[in-house]
């Protein structure tokens, strides 16, 4: 067993060099996925458990493919079919899992801080695949990789993040990562989506999206959770689309050639119009491709010591 | 066309200045203000039409933040045309209407309806307020952005109280997003059993009460949410002395709140309910004489910056019932100045504070120009006769309402002339 285990719980505290090395590795592993034989034997001794307590299709598939391309063994563990649904605590479930001796646990959980709890209690490398409203570090890394590939660098970029900032782990991880890399961040959305004190994170906060988009190099739209609609955060799809959705008119305010990004899945016609989702500026599908590459990089970074020790 | 009103004593409530003179305007905007003695017109250029104020007081026109014109839905009580006529006769040029009509004003279509009906009546600027919640359900946000574009100038839930504090917070944040101020009434219904003030008088009458604490708890909540969200918030129809203290403290701390009192709460105290006459059933309830005195002080020191009419016309059949069952409220928009003048003549309120609270206070809250008599300001003016003695009879009123506690009472003073953007919208005959 490893004496010291590395985790990827969030991007807070990661240095510019550490983030850059993830991006460089991601760049490298993207090449693997583009080969005819999309597989390397690097992690063939490693067992990866995909421990998804909150529903997810895209992130889970992305991690699974990444692990398989690294030749790791994978095992899926979903909330609905698990003993957690029968009332077992997270700790007991995790200990049961550990009895099967996995090396890496990729966890998605509805509660912020759940990956940290796991990291304190089980002897495996933990990768946070999204914990409540807190962090989604691999998403932010893949977003930064996409920006770097298109715009050459991250430092000095004007990045607008638009939508439900307050509930978004994607926004939080991007804010931490992008700030470390030297980008300037603007966040915008209705005030109901912008908690007070967000400006203390070192971002500019706007309650209309136009000034946030103006002159931006990157416009990152966040997914609207429809279950929040018509309740107390926003009144309707059509009002959201009109005032806070990205359309051709609003995109004109950004720099020519600005990247349009979205972590998916899209609500076409709500936070983004179909023509913009599919326009030349849109790198949404590339984000998905880079997602696999970044997850290969993260699995490699955390798993390589384990292989060496074996 | 240039017009000049002459032979008037001018009261500028913004500066507190009072002098004899004239005011001239062109295309609805004041172009000249000058001094001239009683009966004199000053130096008049050719082609300027003169209007005589007959020695009366000239002030900026009145603006109301809380009135019910009952349309759509309750036209048997009042409609936008009759309400507009009543408002003009009361000296008003701008009236913010409650949105809790039927259907309520919670979308573009109802906003347009109200604006069009107001424009058709053509006497006052009918300013629609929009609901905070869809269909007044108290839990789902109305399409506030869309209503902002359609022309609402404020948000309100009428006399309703939003039970869910978290929802109110979201309403205030979302409304502020569109730069719409919020108007809130203040009564926690969980502390309420009836509609009269809880005190010595209710102990005697046995009527069910709405104690002061129900208001104070709500006021404290609304101040805390205004402080958190920084949304511009108006605490409407304050009636208790303890609420005034909370507001004074909040204003001193820079919380973005303003406050109003309804005219009736400055005139009546709880002894008025001893006869069980439903005409005296108003909301918030008339409280103790001590509360009333403190409300007057708060108007003078500016803690309460606005006096609202809370015009609530009702039909005879709404009021000819047992006190508990009768409808609440009184018509008032035509009586605000006579009632204020009564307080001035009784030396309970000074004239400048009284006029300031119906001109400057509400304009500042809504961000409407005017409120001072100076070059470049809109020619929104009122001429007030402070001397005529008259008796209140429904034949005197433009409102369709048939509910006032003051029927048959004698008053001194009333509106003589109302001028809206340079156009005379009301003139008292004879």
Give me the tens of pLDDT residue by residue for chain B, a chain 430 residues long. Answer: 899 999 999 999 999 999 999 999 999 999 999 999 999 999 999 999 999 999 999 999 999 999 999 999 999 999 999 999 999 999 999 999 999 999 999 999 999 999 999 999 999 999 999 999 999 999 999 999 999 999 999 999 999 999 999 999 999 999 999 999 999 999 999 999 999 999 999 999 999 999 999 999 999 999 999 999 999 999 999 999 999 999 999 999 999 999 999 999 999 999 999 999 999 999 999 999 999 999 999 999 999 999 999 999 999 999 999 999 999 999 999 999 999 999 999 999 999 999 999 999 999 999 999 999 999 999 999 999 999 999 999 998 999 999 999 999 999 999 999 999 999 999 998 5
pLDDT of residue B430: 55
Interface check A17 vs B, CB under 8 A: no
Interface check A210 vs B, CB under 8 A: no
- With CA atoms as reference, the chain A residue closest to B168 would be A232
Measured in residues, chain A has a length of 310
pLDDT of residue B90: 98
SS3 percent helix, strand, coil of chain A, rounded to 5, is 45, 15, 40
Spatial contact of B56 and B341, defined as CB atoms under 8 Å apart: no
Average pLDDT of the segment spanning A264-273? 94
Nearest to B310 by CA among B333, B328, B288, B287: B333
Handedness of CA B28, B32, B35, B37 (dihedral sign): negative
Of A196, A232, A233, the CB nearest to B228: A196
- For A16-135+290-309, CATH number out of 3.20.10.10, 3.40.50.1370, 1.10.3720.10, 3.40.50.620 equals 3.40.50.1370
Of A190, A208, A231, the CB nearest to B140: A231
Maximum distance among all Cα pairs of chain A, rounded to whole angstroms: 57
Q: Interface pTM (ipTM) of the complex?
A: 0.87
Mutate to test the interface with A, among B165, B177, B228 (most CBs of A within 10 A): B177
Nearest-Cα distance to chain B for A190, in Å, is 6
Task: Give A2's pLDDT tier (boundaries 50, 70, 90).
Answer: very low
Of B134, B146, B176, the CB nearest to A191: B176
Query: For the segment A49-63, what is each residue's pLDDT rounded down to a tens digit?
Result: 999 988 888 999 999
Q: How far apart are CA B69 and CA B88, in angstroms?
A: 13
CATH 3.40.50.1370 region(s) of chain A?
A: 16-135+290-309, 137-288
Q: For all residues of chain A together, what is the average pLDDT?
A: 92
Q: How far apart are CA B399 and CA B401, in angstroms?
A: 5
Q: How far apart are CA A111 and CA A103, in angstroms?
A: 23
Domains of chain B: 2-58+376-388+411-427 (2.30.40.10), 62-366 (3.20.20.140)
Q: How far apart are CA A242 and CA A105, in angstroms?
A: 42
Interface check B134 vs A, CB under 8 A: yes
Q: How many CB pairs under 8 A join A and B?
A: 53
Residue B109 known to be catalytic: no
Of A231, A233, A236, the CB nearest to B143: A236
Of A167-176, A195-204, B66-75, B109-118, give the lowest mean pLDDT range. Answer: A195-204
**Burial profile B60-93: b = 16 or more Cβ within 10 angstroms, e = fewer:** bbbbbbbbbbbbbebeebbbbbbbbbbbbbbbbb
Spatial contact of B73 and B100, defined as CB atoms under 8 Å apart: no
Structure tokens at B126: 């009918």
Interface check B141 vs A, CB under 8 A: yes
Q: CA dist A173 to A143, A168, A256, A284, B359, Å?
A: 10, 9, 26, 18, 51
Q: Provide, as residue numbers in chain B, all residues whose Cβ is less than 8 Å from the Cβ of A192.
A: 141, 170, 173-174, 177
Nearest to B150 by CA among B110, B179, B111, B103: B111
pLDDT of residue B114: 98
CATH class of A137-288: alpha beta
Q: How far apart are CA B108 and CA B344, in angstroms?
A: 42
Nearest-Cα distance to chain A for B181, in Å, is 14
Tell me the residues of chain A between 163 and 202 that have a Cβ less than 8 Å away from chain B. Answer: 190-192, 196
Question: Which distant-in-sequence residues (6+ apart) come within 8 Å of A101 by Cβ?
Answer: A47
pLDDT of residue A1: 40
Which residue in the list B100, B188, B310, B385 is annotated as catalytic? B310
Structure tokens at A221: 């739209």
Q: Would you call A123 exposed, middle or buried from its count of C-beta atoms within 10 A (0-12, 13-18, 19+)?
A: exposed
Structure tokens at B68: 């019910």
Q: In the 8-state DSSP scheme, what is residue A224?
A: P
Q: How far apart are CA B171 and CA B185, in angstroms?
A: 15
Partnered with residue B18 across adjacent β-strands are B11
Q: Within 10 Å of residue B391's Cβ, how many Cβ atoms? A: 11
Interface check A206 vs B, CB under 8 A: no
String of DSSP letters for B264-295:
HHHH--GGGGGG--GGG--SSPP--HHHHHHH
Interface check A242 vs B, CB under 8 A: yes
Q: How far apart are CA B71 and CA B113, in angstroms?
A: 10
pLDDT of residue A95: 86
CB contact under 8 A, A243 and B229: no
Query: For the segment A63-110, what is each residue's pLDDT rounded down to a tens digit?
Result: 999 999 999 999 988 766 666 767 788 888 888 888 889 999 999 999
Nearest-Cα distance to chain A for B361, in Å, is 27
Query: For the segment A211-248, what is each residue's pLDDT rounded down to a tens digit?
Result: 999 999 999 999 998 766 667 889 999 999 999 999 99
Interface check A231 vs B, CB under 8 A: yes
Structure tokens at A175: 């804010």
Measured in residues, chain B has a length of 430
Structure tokens at B189: 């219904």
Q: DSSP E strands: which ranges in B145-297?
A: 154-156, 182-184, 233-235, 257-262
Q: Which region holds residue B412: left if phi is over 0, alpha if psi is between -120 and 50, else beta? A: beta
Partnered with residue A106 across adjacent β-strands are A50, A127
Nearest-Cα distance to chain B for A229, in Å, is 9
Of B143, B166, B229, the CB nearest to A235: B143
pLDDT of residue A225: 80
């Amino acid at each position: 067993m490893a004496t010291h285990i590395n985790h990827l719980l969030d991007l807070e505290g990661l240095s510019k060099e550490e983030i850059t090395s993830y991006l460089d590795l991601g760049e490298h592993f993207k090449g693997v996925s583009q080969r005819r034989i999309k597989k390397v034997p690097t992690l063939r001794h490693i067992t990866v458990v995909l421990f998804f307590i909150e529903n997810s299709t895209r992130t889970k598939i992305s991690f699974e493919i990444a692990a398989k391309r690294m030749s790791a063994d994978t095992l899926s563990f979903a909330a609905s079919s698990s003993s957690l649904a029968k009332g077992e605590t997270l700790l007991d479930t995790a200990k049961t899992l550990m009895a099967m001796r996995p090396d890496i646990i990729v966890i998605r959980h509805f509660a912020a801080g759940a990956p940290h709890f796991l990291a304190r209690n089980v002897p495996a490398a933990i990768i946070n695949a999204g914990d409540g409203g807190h962090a989604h570090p691999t998403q932010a890394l893949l977003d930064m990789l996409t920006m770097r590939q298109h715009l050459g660098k991250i430092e000095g970029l004007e990045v607008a993040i638009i939508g439900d900032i307050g509930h978004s782990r994607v926004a939080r991880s991007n804010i931490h990562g992008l700030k470390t890399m030297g980008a300037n961040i603007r966040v915008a959305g209705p005030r109901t989506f912008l908690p007070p004190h967000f400006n203390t994170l070192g971002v500019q906060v706007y309650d209309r999206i136009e000034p946030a988009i103006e002159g931006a190099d990157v416009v990152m739209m966040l997914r609207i959770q429809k279950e929040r609609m018509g309740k107390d955060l926003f009144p309707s799809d059509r009002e959201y689309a009109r005032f806070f959705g990205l359309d051709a008119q609003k995109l004109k305010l950004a720099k020519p050639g600005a990247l349009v990004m979205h972590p998916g899945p899209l609500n076409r016609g709500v936070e983004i119009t179909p023509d913009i989702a599919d326009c030349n500026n849109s790198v949404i599908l590339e984000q998905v491709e880079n997602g696999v590459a970044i997850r290969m990089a993260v699995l490699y970074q955390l798993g390589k010591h384990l292989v060496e020790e074996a | 066309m240039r017009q000049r009103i002459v032979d008037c004593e001018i009261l500028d409530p913004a500066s507190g200045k009072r002098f004899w003179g004239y005011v001239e305007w062109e295309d609805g905007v004041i172009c000249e203000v000058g001094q001239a003695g009683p009966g004199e017109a000053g130096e008049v250029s050719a082609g300027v039409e003169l209007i005589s104020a007959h020695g009366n007081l000239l002030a900026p026109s009145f603006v109301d933040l809380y009135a019910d014109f009952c349309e759509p839905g309750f036209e048997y009580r009042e409609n936008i045309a009759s309400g507009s006529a009543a408002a003009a006769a009361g000296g008003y040029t701008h009236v913010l209407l409650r949105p809790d009509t039927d259907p309520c004003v919670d979308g573009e279509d109802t906003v347009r309806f109200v604006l069009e009906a107001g424009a058709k009546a053509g006497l006052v600027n009918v300013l629609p307020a929009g609901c905070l919640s869809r269909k007044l359900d108290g839990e789902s946000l109305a399409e506030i952005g869309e209503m902002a574009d359609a022309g609402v100038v404020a948000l309100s839930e009428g006399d309703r109280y939003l039970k869910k504090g978290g929802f109110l917070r979201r309403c205030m944040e979302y409304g502020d997003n569109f730069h719409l101020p919020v108007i809130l009434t203040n009564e926690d219904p969980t502390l309420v059993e009836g509609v009269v003030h809880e005190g010595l008088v209710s102990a005697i009458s046995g009527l069910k009460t709405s104690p002061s604490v129900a208001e104070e708890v709500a006021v404290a909540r609304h101040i805390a949410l205004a402080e958190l969200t920084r949304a511009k918030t108006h605490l409407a129809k304050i009636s208790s002395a303890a609420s005034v203290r909370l507001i004074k403290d909040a204003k001193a701390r820079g919380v973005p709140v303003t406050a109003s009192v309804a005219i009736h709460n400055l005139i009546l105290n709880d002894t008025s309910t001893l006869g069980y006459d439903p005409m005296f059933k108003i909301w918030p309830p008339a409280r103790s004489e001590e509360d009333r005195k403190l409300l007057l002080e708060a108007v003078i020191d500016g803690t309460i910056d606005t006096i609202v009419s809370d015009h609530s016309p009702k039909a005879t059949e709404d009021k000819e019932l047992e006190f508990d069952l009768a409808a609440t409220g009184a018509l008032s928009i035509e009586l605000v100045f006579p009632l204020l003048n009564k307080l001035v003549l009784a030396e309970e309120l000074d004239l400048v504070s009284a006029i300031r609270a119906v001109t400057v206070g509400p304009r500042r809250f809504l961000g409407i120009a005017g409120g001072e008599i100076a070059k470049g300001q809109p020619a929104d003016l009122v001429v007030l006769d402070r001397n005529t003695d008259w008796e209140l009879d429904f034949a005197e009123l433009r409102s369709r309402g048939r509910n006032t506690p003051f029927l048959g009472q004698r008053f001194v003073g009333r509106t003589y002339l109302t001028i809206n953007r340079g156009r005379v919208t009301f003139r008292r005959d004879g």
